[in-house]
Amino acid sequence: MPKVLISDKMDPKAAEIFRARGIEVDEITGKTKDELIAIIGNYDGLAIRSATKVTKDVLDAATNLKVVGRAGIGVDNVDIPAASAKGVVVMNTPFGNSITTAEHAIALMFALARQLPEADVSTQAGKWEKNRFMGVELTNKTLGLIGAGNIGSIVADRARGLKMKVAAFDPFLTPERAVEMGVEKVTLDELLAKADFITLHTPLTDQTRNILSRENLAKTKKGVRIINCARGGLVDEAALKDALDSGHVAGAALDVFVTEPATESPLFGTPNFISTPHLGASTSEAQVNVAIQVAEQLSEYLLTGGVTNALNVPSLSAEEAPKLKPYMALAEKLGALVGQLEGDRIRAVAVEVEGAAAELNQKPITAAVLAGLMRVYSDTVNMVNAPFLAKERGLDVREVRHEREGDYHTLVRVAITLEDGGERSVAGTLFGNREPRLVELFGIKMEADLTGDMLYVINQDAPGFIGRIGSSLGEADVNIATFHLGRRSHGPGGEAALLLSIDTPVPEPVLWAVCNLPGVKKVKALKF
Q: In angstroms, what CA-CA distances link 161 with 23, 147, 158, 229, 507?
A: 44, 19, 5, 20, 46
d(Cα 50, Cα 430) in Å, to the nearest integer?
40
d(Cα 407, Cα 58) in Å, to the nearest integer?
48
Of 226, 177, 218, 220, give the one whose Cα is nearest residue 200. 226
Residue 290 burial (C-beta neighbours within 10 Å; 0-12, 13-18, 19+): buried
* Identity at 496, one-letter amino acid code: A
122 dihedral zone (left: phi>0; alpha: psi -120 to 50; beta):
alpha
Contact 429, 437 (CB under 8 A): yes
Name the E strands within 432-528: 435-441, 444-448, 453-460, 480-487, 495-502, 520-527
* Residue 278 appears among annotated catalytic residues: yes
* Residue 399 appears among annotated catalytic residues: no
Kind and range of the H or E run holding 46 = strand 45-48
d(Cα 178, Cα 197) in Å, to the nearest integer?
19
d(Cα 462, Cα 501) in Å, to the nearest integer?
21
Angle at 181 between CA 176 and CA 184, to 5 degrees: 75
* Residue 231 appears among annotated catalytic residues: yes
Contact 159, 198 (CB under 8 A): no
From the centroid of its chain, how far is CA 352? 25
Question: Number of helices (H) and strands (E), helices first, in the chain?
Answer: 17, 22
Sequence-ordered list of residues with C-beta below 8 angstroms from that of 16, at least 6 positions apart, any chain = none
Of 431, 427, 446, give the one whose Cα is nearest residue 487. 446
Which residue in the list 70, 104, 231, 413 is annotated as catalytic?
231
Which residue in the list 35, 129, 215, 260 is annotated as catalytic?
260
Contact 170, 145 (CB under 8 A): yes
Residue 269 burial (C-beta neighbours within 10 Å; 0-12, 13-18, 19+): exposed
Kind and range of the H or E run holding 52 = none
Q: In angstroms, what CA-CA distances link 456 with 265, 335, 375, 376, 442?
A: 39, 15, 19, 16, 12
Which of the residues are catalytic?
A: 231, 260, 278
